[in-house]
Amino acid sequence: MSIEKRETVHITGVSHQGEGVGRLADGRVVFVPGALPEEDVIIGDLAKEKKRLVAPIEEITLAHPERVVPACPVYHACGGCQLQHAAPALQEEIKTRRVQDACERIGHLDLTVLPTLMMADPWRYRNKGIFHVNEAGGEARLGFYGAAGHAFVPATDCLLFSQAVNNLLKDLEKRITATGRAGHIRKVMVRQSFATGEIMLAFITEDQAFRLPKLADSLLADYPNLTSLWHNVLTNPRLATGRAWHHLGGQRSLSDCIGDLQVHLSPASFFQVNNRQAKVLYDQIRHRAALTGRETVLDLYGGIGTIGLYLARDAKSVIGVESIGDATRDARDNARQLGISNASFVTAKAETWLPRQVKDHPAPDLIIVDPPRKGLHDRLIDTLITSKTPTIIYVSCNPATLARDLKTFHKNGYQIHDIQPVDLFPQTAHVETVVLLQKK
């Protein structure tokens, strides 16, 4: 529903989606895509979206001095990035402020948030992407669905991916078009190793069988750096990928590194999309852990074990807990190939496994939690508090749920020492955060 409204709004902050936030003359909050803090903008017609008022910019009457021209020509249509129009210094300020605001408003905590650790060269950092296949006029195009979710935006020149990936995608468009069956492929997943330059490619279809074997064979023959090719069956369109993976050719995994930690990735493996900033994040965790070689460490929501393995050589033992069996198997394989014998991995939900663990075993010296955006399960928080674990390191991808959970820990005797945001996703509104908590 659209409401005609034209007035000047002063922007005071930025939402978790990267929109400017201000107030109308009548006091209501309005979200203004593309607006930056401290700007004055004349807005267009208001629209109600999921109980929020959203308005476009008609005119910027006072621009932030750190506003810049976005480098990407399809930036405003794509929506994959939200902050390209902000210079790096302003992006740092926005991300730090977002964590600070969440701690104050949601956590009611008077804490100092350290400046966000930014990336020196914030372009071409992504090691993985999933591209939709769109067919128009008999030609296949690869790209994303835009900010509004409906318009298709070609993305074979994306500045977040390497030139090698972009070149492959452009050629892939031609090859898919030549098959005459572009509709057979819904999406394409590309993963590139920043350690070796090798590429893993997966065709995502609704069909149980991949019906373009010549396309697969020609790609493997013509691209020496394309070393792993897969087919994924997607039965639920609301998901990015399906559960069934079929190997089409080449190697079954891809080798990549975070710092000096080398891991092997299957197509379904979760791996941080920014290798260089992942090392920054993991080094912050290692610094706060301050391990001496005598500690027992639990790594909850451990994925393929990268955090636990990164710390294992500094600890007495590490136990990683992850609910997805394929990820646990990857973690065990990586530990074996790295020769790390003091790390073990369990397939279980953290909130059901930890109560049994602390009941039957002494409290660990350190627990690391890296939950999804929804934050920690209530039962897990209760167990963490009653376990009297002396040190917890909380790694978060969502400042709002982080602040909510920190409030509970603070009320129950944990001191929050410092809060360190890390920019794993330059040009976007997303931010990771590392927090050290110690029992008083």
Q: Which residues are annotated as a binding site?
A: 272, 301, 322, 370
What phi-psi label fits residue 79: left (phi over 0), alpha (psi between -120 and 50 degrees) or beta?
Answer: left
* Angstrom distances, CA of residue 64 to CA of 10, 133, 214: 11, 38, 53
Residue whose token pair is 């070689």 = 293
Give kind and range of the element (H or E) at residue 312.
helix 306-312
Q: Which two tokens stand for residue 51?
A: 């109980």
Side chain identity at residue 21, one-letter code: V
Strands 317-322 and 296-300: parallel
Q: What is the phi/psi pair of residue 178, to 5°?
A: -65, -25
DSSP calls for 213-224: HHHHHHHHHH-T
- What the block records as the tokens of 169 is 């995608």
Task: Report residue 141: phi and psi, to 5°.
Answer: -125, 145
Q: What amino acid is encoded at 31 in this protein?
A: F
Q: Residue 262: which of 196, 315, 343 has the closest Cα?
A: 196
Beta bridge partners of 256: 263
The annotated binding site for S-adenosyl-L-methionine is made up of 272, 301, 322, 370
Strands 29-32 and 199-205: unpaired
- What letter represents residue 37's amino acid? P
Residue 315 is classified by DSSP as: S
On whether the CB atoms of residues 288 and 438 are closer than 8 A, the answer is: no
Dist. CA 219–CA 193, nearest whole Å: 18
Catalytic residues: 397
Distances (CA, A) of 427 to 98, 112, 398, 401: 15, 24, 17, 22
